[in-house]
Structure 1
Amino acid sequence: MTYENLVGRTAVVTGAASGIGAATAGLLAANGARVALLARRAERLEEVAEKIRAGGGQALTVVADVTDDASVDAAVARVHAEFGPVDLVVNNAGVMLPNPLELGRLDEWQRMVDTNVTGALRVIRAFTADLLAAAEAGRTADLVDISSIGAHTVFPNYAVYGATKAALTFLSESLRSELGPRDVRVTNIEPGLTESELRGHIDNGELSEQLDGLFGAVGAMSAEDLADVIAYTTSRPRHVNLRQVIVLPTRQA
């Protein structure tokens, strides 16, 4: 499917080195958007960008860590220097580190909060002025936050991860009240089981096996499935905001 309303737009996608971010960057570019790819891994970013360019798309690789203020500031400067102001932001960078709360894994809690909540806020702060300016000029402006079904569905041992995603979901809802009246669309997307690198971050063997079993029993969506949802959402007429989208594999209750 093609999305003509994406032609000529300038997008930023975080967590673009793999998974949903890479697939989204590729699909937006294939539909005519210029895409800045932000992530920490330079080599993986360049692989994604080269694939986009080989298909005739425009891609800029920007090595950035959303948990670091200076890194995000430098990324914004680079995007503006190469592409100018942006009108589409996909806040996709995230980590999932489940463990029983009683283990007290402060290192994991801090990493999830820094990436999933504060990192998203850094990106929002960095590009809100661009989005408001685009909307004021009569162009479509989108902020898309990638949350999780875990934001409002309880999964044992995922308490802190779920809490960070609940925060992102509520943040999206709150920002909609601030930015919506100024014609900036805010969309919160909550995926269920999706193939990505998140599973590889888990250091608890028992929980990793449980998740693998769930994937095997229920099946999972592909990163491309989620990219299609994001492209569809951001290509609607500018007066239409698909404010919250819950996306699950058909067999996931």
Structure 2
Amino acid sequence: MSYEKLQGRTAVVTGAASGIGEATARLLAAGGAAVVLVARRAERLAELAAKIEADGGRALAVAADVTDQASVDAAVERVHAAYGTVDLVVNSAGVMLPNPVTDGRTDEWQRMLDTNVAGALRIVRAFAQDLIEAAGEGRTADLVNISSIGAHIAFPHYAVYGATKAALTYLSESLRTEFGPRDVRVTNIEPGFTDTELRGHVDNAELSGLLEGMFDEVGSLASEDVADLIAYAASRPRHVNLRQLIVLPTRQV
């Protein structure tokens, strides 16, 4: 599908070093948007930026850690210096670390809370005024949060991950009450099983095996499938907000 309405827009994509973030950055750039690639892995970002530019797109690699406020602040300065006001923000950075709550893995809990919830909030805070300004000028302005079907469906030993995604889903709903009246659209996307690096974050051999078994039985989305949905939502007429989107492999129930 072609997304000509993305032409001329300026997008920030977190988690752009891999998975949904990388696929989204590629697709937005192909549609004509200038894309800021945000993630911790500078080398991966530089490689992606080079590929996008080789294909005729515009991309800026900005190594930053969404769990660190100073890092986010420095990234914002770089973005504004290079591209000016942003009108599309995709919160795709996330981490999935399942384990039984009784294991007491407070390090994992904190990492998921800092990345999936507080990290998303830091990015919202960083670019909220950009989005409001863009909308006030009559431009299309979008905030897209990548949550998970895990926000609604309980999976054994994914309690903390699911809780962080439920928080992000609620945050998206609540932000619409603040941003919608200012003509800034907020879209929350909840993918089901998706083939990304998150699968490799699981350090529990039993849970990793169970996850792989579910993927084998049900199948999975590709990162590009979710990116396509993001680009579609962002390219609707500015008075149309696709506020809540759930996307699953056909066999996942």
TM band (smaller chain) = over 0.9
SS in 1 for 2:128: helix
SS in 2 for 1:93: coil
Amino acid at match of 1:47: E
Question: What is the aligned residue count?
Answer: 253
> CA offsets per residue over residues 57-98 of structure 1, 9 Å max, x none?
000000000000000000000000001110000000000000
**Which residue in 2 is equivalent to 1:86?**
86
**Which residue in 2 is equivalent to 1:74?**
74
> CA offsets per residue over residues 26-75 of structure 1, 9 Å max, x none?
00000000000000001111111111111100000000000000000000
The 5 A counterparts of 1:13-24 are 13-24=13-24
The 2-side partners of 1:48 and 1:23 are apart by: 10
**Which residue in 1 is equivalent to 2:131?**
131
Q: TM-score, normalised by structure 1?
A: 1.00
Give the CA deviation at 1:195: 0.6
> CA offsets per residue over residues 79-122 of structure 1, 9 Å max, x none?
00001110000000000000001000000000000000000000
**Which residue in 1 is equivalent to 2:203?**
203
SS in 1 for 2:194: coil
Q: Where in structure 2 are there 5+ consecutive unaligned residues?
A: none
SS in 2 for 1:81: helix
Q: TM-score, normalised by structure 2?
A: 1.00
Give the CA deviation at 1:160: 0.3
Aligned: 1:55 with 2:55: yes
**Which residue in 1 is equivalent to 2:160?**
160
SS in 1 for 2:98: coil
**Which residue in 2 is equivalent to 1:38?**
38
**Which residue in 1 is equivalent to 2:236?**
236
Identity of aligned residues (%): 74
SS in 2 for 1:138: coil
Q: Where in structure 1 are there 5+ consecutive unaligned residues?
A: none
SS in 1 for 2:221: coil
The 2-side partners of 1:64 and 1:2 are apart by: 30
**Which residue in 1 is equivalent to 2:142?**
142
The 2-side partners of 1:85 and 1:135 are apart by: 11
**Which residue in 1 is equivalent to 2:11?**
11
> CA offsets per residue over residues 11-31 of structure 1, 9 Å max, x none?
000000001000000000000
